[in-house]
Amino acid sequence: MEPRKGTGMLGRRVGSPVVMWSLYGLVVLARVASIAWAAARLPERVASHFGPSGAADGWTSREGYLALDIGVSALVLLGFPMLSFLANGSGAGVNIPHKDYWFRPENRPTLRRLLTGDLLFFASATGVLLTWLTVSVVRANEQADPSLGQWSMFVVAAFVLVIVVRSVWMVSGRYRVPATEAARL
């Protein structure tokens, strides 16, 4: 299938399956490394919840924190990519523009590639946020008075902004019907 007009070479490379799977693999490795590092560095009693000011206001055991960290990481890093199987079904549970077009048998390979890339992006972005959070929790627990600092809200806001921008792009352009096919609809 021909690439869409206007995507350019960089656009094709950045969104390619090889690039997305490579990014995802690096994020998975970073998650594993950050959790292993946290297991070695966290105290028995972990400051695990932080209020708007960044000050710790909730505590848990090291094992409890690590179990939650591992569970959420597994859910996100394995769950998002597994959702791409939805492209194989009837389309129930998939909400994309021009759904009738994308679920035609001849368009499903492209749909599967697009969905997989998007889901890998969301898994990777969330994995980066979780890695940052793990490192921040360890660093906070190394202080006499555990605190994340107020700047941490900017990191979360940046994550939300990236997710919103990607989502708007997906709805407004990524799943549009190619111009060569639009005339046939």
Q: Is the pLDDT of residue 153 over 90?
A: no
> pLDDT tens-digit profile of 116-147?
899 999 999 999 999 999 999 999 999 999 99
User: Are 135 and 152 a contacting pair, CB within 8 Å?
Assistant: no
Q: How far does CA 118 lie from the centroid of its chain? A: 9
Q: Which of 150, 149, 128, 127 is nearest to 139 (CA)?
A: 149
Helix (H, G, I), strand (E, B) or coil at 120: helix
Give the predicted TM-score (pTM) of the model: 0.86
Q: What is the mean pLDDT of residues 63-76?
A: 97
> pLDDT tens-digit profile of 25-48?
999 999 999 999 999 999 999 999
Query: How far is CA 89 from each of CA 77, 108, 166, rounded to the nearest angstrom?
Result: 22, 10, 24
